[in-house]
Structure 1
């Protein structure tokens, strides 16, 4: 029997490719840059599985071109880059890689909180530019974290991990989520409306997926409600935030600072953000640790192996597809 054919759209950690090669014929996985849509359309007609990244747009046209596709395995937790409805209609399983990047993304959230609050980036530049001439009681004054109120928008795996990491800082936590958290986070944690969160939180951090309901969840109206001097952090998805409104809120000093790992029109960054000294900008590295990225590759590969061998993948995001399949 011929091996199932897997198209991998971009280089990923080698452990995932080696795992796939035990059972499958692997194509692609050689380029460091995203595959363009036209090339993807030409490459997918005879493959059984697609391992894609969040930088790949897997739209209705791609899904129709993949006439043999059994599974689309997204190397990411979010799957807003995939037309899941079209895949389900065609009987194609869609999977993702949750869980393995929770701690890494939560840690980066805290790195951004501290970088913004304590002016780490401008302080580093100050020293490198040979401006440091000695201790000064008014030099690079920032904001303390201890005892402040942390507002978490989205209390899923990552939001809960961020909350747990705050325990040592004696923080109060308010959160907004359409579902109740599964963990007991103590009496200092309470659920509030989005408007109340903006009014109460000294630090606001985003951890929701991108859906039609969360698009521009944080807009001009939200920022106008925010507590003056709050810090704003986004390590989730860029379009959850109206970037134009964020820039205005920072310019008007409604917000004291922001830390961003994702952008509304990624990889483009709103030009106004470059002009603001109270903003830390990162290149979407929330899950960028050796351990996490390798485990994401292995999980994405395992999802494919399960699908092409007739098993239900553990991380299936469209279970309705099972009505069309004999699994």
Structure 2
């Protein structure tokens, strides 16, 4: 029977579906696979269901040609932790789970916009610490969201879902930066450069895929272009934002705040960020809803089923 390794604990419904079709081994450890474990898995299993943090680099695939493993069915839409070209050279297919994560991730973007603008994290910390002395007209004044301008960096599925929420839910003007023009079903204006976008918006939201092309694209120049009252939100990948440059901008008061769900070296979060009141920090909650994680897992299992049945892959990574 086809042997599959699932690299992290999964919702019961996902495990049941996988076990109905394959001989399954599930790691009971939430830590990412180490390089030696990945090499061993490529030799021992017909397919692997990996996820964020399992760094299948070119070095891991160096001796994998002719290995037993023929497919990596990634749990997640982002796959910058997998060297797809090296996998392909070793004869290993790679799939992902697009679509399942779109709405949940867009919801977290709006959560961070609202929390950062309205100083929600700061207010909760004040209340829990017993420092709230009651309502007054000038307490905890933040920024209004309704009617403001949002700039979205990356207008793929998630970027468009964020744009719809901003437009329909809050009457926001939507601007965006994208490598190509997009046909979008709401009023939205494309801006020619990321720096130009940053200078025109009240909220700048990073929603691009991870990878070498987007690493550090929200850097010193982009942050310097932002308005002093503007907020940065990142629900993409942590290294899309230059963390050191962001810390400087926040420390010097050059932007009003930031909302972050992802970090450059997860789970490490710089101590200076953790101590800043003007920053809302979430522990990578983008897809953290049971229904969503089930849908992601079932999609990954379906990719495995299709591959071993010889059917067309539903979600191949090209």
Could you tell me which residue of structure 2 aligns to residue 39 of structure 1?
Answer: 37
**C-alpha separation between the residues in 2 aligned to 1:128 and 1:243?**
28
- Normalization by structure 2: what TM-score? 0.95
Aligned match of 1:86? 86
Does residue 130 (structure 1) correspond to residue 135 (structure 2)? The answer is: no
Displacement of 1:183 in angstroms is 2.8
Please say if residues 244 and 270 of structure 1, whose CA atoms lie closer than 8 Å, have aligned partners that are also in contact.
no
Query: 1:246 — aligned with what?
Result: 246
The Cα offsets for residues 216-236 of structure 1, whole Å up to 9 and x where unpaired, read as 101111111112211000011
Number of residue pairs matched by the alignment: 314
Determine whether 1:181 maps to 2:177.
no
2:54 paired residue number:
56
State whether structure 2 residue 295 is matched by structure 1 residue 304: no
Q: Which moved more, 1:30-39 or 1:296-305?
A: 30-39
Question: TM-score when scaled to structure 1?
Answer: 0.92
State the secondary structure of the residue aligned to 1:200. Answer: coil
**Distance in 1 of aligned mates of 2:245 and 2:123:** 27
- Deviation of 1:51 (Å): 0.4
**RMSD, matched Cα:** 1.4
Which is worse superposed, 228-237 or 26-35? Answer: 26-35
Q: Distance in 2 between matches of 1:201 and 1:249?
A: 16
Q: CA deviation at 1:12?
A: 1.4
- Counterpart in the other structure of 2:76: 76
Deviation at 1:196, TM superposition (A): 1.4
- Superposition map of 1:13-24 within 5 A: 13-24=11-22
- Whether the 8 Å CA contact 1:7–1:44 is kept in 2: the answer is no
Give 1:81 deviation, angstroms.
0.5
Name the structure 1 match of 2:3.
5
Q: CA-to-partner distance for each residue in 1:197-225, whole Å, 9 max, x for gaps? A: 11101000000011222111011111111
How far apart in 2 are the matches of 1:86 and 1:121? 42
CA distance in 2, matches of 1:131, 1:269: 26
Question: Which range moved further: 221-230 or 136-145?
Answer: 221-230
Distance 2:173 2:37 in 1: 50
State the shift of 1:46 in Å: 2.4
Give runs of aligned pairs for residues 97-112 of structure 1, distance below 5 A. Answer: 97-112=97-112
Extract unaligned runs of 5+ from structure 2. none
Aligned to 1:237: 237
- 1:217 paired with 2:217, answer yes
Consecutive unaligned residues of structure 1, counting only runs of 5 or more, are 319-327
1:190 maps to which residue? 189
Contact 2:33–2:55 at 8 Å: present in 1 too? Answer: no
1 CA distance for matches of 2:269 and 2:129?
25
